């Protein structure tokens, strides 16, 4: 499909752009699919809405197809001008009416600015590569996390505590919400556009490849330790400084038992009596905080990681 509105590519100021006034305009259809429809466009672009998310998209290095302002949204142009006005930026700046913008927006009270952005493409090799800023890969695997708000919050938390990548996969009959849907992107505060994410791979294939790559898997468990011969470990009993992938399961059912059994370690957060479990996003925050604490501290020279995954107990 031809890119909508090629002539608009020569427009560098939203104030100079012709006002799009038809609901059937091809650009507005693209934005409607990506925002209100929550689906990638035919060319793989997703929608981000609001000045903060648009700014994150522009800073992410991802390819931008277009930026759209409503009439009232023009107030955000000054904030975004350093990122959208340079002549070398090869995407159009579009304008439409407030009424038409409300018809394509996903939020209840739209702020009048949106963008079409192509998420970075991530291969498995990209996922397990150690960035220069990290001691080893620290990954999160979302397996059957169905709520897009939880998906986005987990990705935001993981990125905040130094995760180097993420993957999403179905778990049994439970699919994982898309990390680039409008709700997930809002919940991630744009972190999903900066973090390498491998989406949609089969969970069994992903786990097999992680094993081959030497990445240890940690299963966050909601099951009782009596259900498995493998003990439940507290977050601080594990070594987060080696290549690891934290597996986060479905909000209600958790990870399938066969996935827990095949993991290198099962992990559970000790809690007060009477509290059954934490929300998946809250649990991920606790676990990644411990990962950041270990990875940001200088390890004591006398501590040796045992042959498996567990840290030796203090006497």
- pLDDT 10s digits, 126-139: 999 988 888 899 99
Q: How confident is the model at residue 300 (pLDDT cuts 50, 70, 90)?
A: very low
- Tokens representing 78? 């000054």
Distance, in Å, from the CA atom of 33 to the CA atom of 31, rounded to the nearest integer, reads 5
Q: What is the CB neighbour count within 10 angstroms for residue 103? A: 16
Q: How confident is the model at residue 274 (pLDDT cuts 50, 70, 90)?
A: low
The pLDDT assigned to 227 comes to: 53
Q: Residues near 287 by Cβ (< 8 Å), separated by ≥ 6?
A: 218, 220, 235, 246, 267, 269
Q: Would you list the domain boundaries of the chain?
A: 7-118, 124-295
- Tokens representing 301? 């020279």
CATH architecture of 124-295: 3-Layer(aba) Sandwich (3.40)
Distance, in Å, from the CA atom of 45 to the CA atom of 182, rounded to the nearest integer, reads 12
Tell me the average pLDDT across 52-76.
Answer: 95
- pLDDT 10s digits, 197-213: 999 888 999 999 999 99
Distance, in Å, from the CA atom of 265 to the CA atom of 255, rounded to the nearest integer, reads 13
CB 105 within 8 A of CB 35: yes
pLDDT at 303 over 70: no
Q: Which residue has the tokens 């969970």?
A: 203
CB 68 within 8 A of CB 49: no
The Cα angle at residue 217 between residues 272 and 273, in degrees rounded to 5: 5
CB 166 within 8 A of CB 155: yes
Q: Residues near 235 by Cβ (< 8 Å), separated by ≥ 6?
A: 267, 269, 286, 287, 290, 291
- pLDDT 10s digits, 13-37: 555 568 999 999 999 999 999 999 8
This prediction has a pTM of: 0.83
- 253, exposed or middle or buried, with CB in 10 Å at 0-12, 13-18, 19+? middle
Tell me the average pLDDT across 165-191.
Answer: 89
pLDDT at 174 over 80: no
- pLDDT 10s digits, 145-173: 989 999 999 999 999 999 999 999 887 66
- The reply to whether domains 7-118 and 124-295 share a CATH topology is no
CATH architecture of 7-118: 2-Layer Sandwich (3.30)
């Amino acid at each position: 499909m031809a890119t909508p509105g090629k002539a608009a590519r020569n427009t560098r100021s939203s104030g100079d752009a012709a006002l799009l006034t038809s609901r059937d305009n091809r650009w507005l259809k693209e934005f409607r699919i990506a925002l209100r429809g929550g689906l990638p466009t035919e060319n793989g672009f997703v929608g981000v809405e609001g000045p903060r998310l648009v700014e994150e998209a522009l800073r992410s290095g991802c390819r931008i197809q277009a930026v759209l302002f409503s009439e009232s949204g023009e107030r955000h142009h000054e904030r975004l001008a350093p990122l959208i006005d340079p002549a070398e930026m090869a995407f159009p700046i579009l304008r439409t009416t407030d009424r038409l913008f409300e018809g394509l927006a996903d939020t209840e009270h739209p702020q009048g600015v949106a963008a079409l952005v192509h998420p970075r493409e991530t291969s498995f090799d990209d996922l397990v590569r150690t960035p220069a800023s990290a001691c080893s890969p620290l990954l999160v695997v979302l397996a059957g996390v169905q709520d897009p708000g939880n998906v986005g919050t987990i990705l935001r938390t993981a990125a905040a505590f130094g995760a180097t990548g993420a993957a999403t996969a179905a778990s049994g009959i439970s699919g994982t919400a898309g990390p680039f849907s409008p709700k997930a992107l809002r919940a991630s505060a744009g972190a999903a556009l900066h973090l390498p994410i491998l989406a949609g791979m089969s969970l069994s294939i992903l786990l097999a490849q992680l094993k081959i790559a030497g990445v240890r898997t940690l299963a966050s468990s909601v099951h009782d330790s009596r259900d498995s011969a493998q003990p439940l470990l507290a977050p601080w009993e594990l070594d987060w400084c080696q290549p690891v992938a934290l597996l986060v399961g479905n909000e209600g059912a958790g990870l399938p038992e066969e996935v827990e059994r095949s993991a290198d370690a099962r992990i559970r957060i000790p809690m007060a009596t009477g509290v059954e479990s934490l929300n998946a996003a809250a649990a991920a925050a606790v676990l990644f905080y411990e990962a950041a604490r270990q990875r940001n501290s200088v390890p004591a020279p006398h501590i040796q990681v045992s042959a498996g995954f567990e840290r030796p107990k203090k006497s």
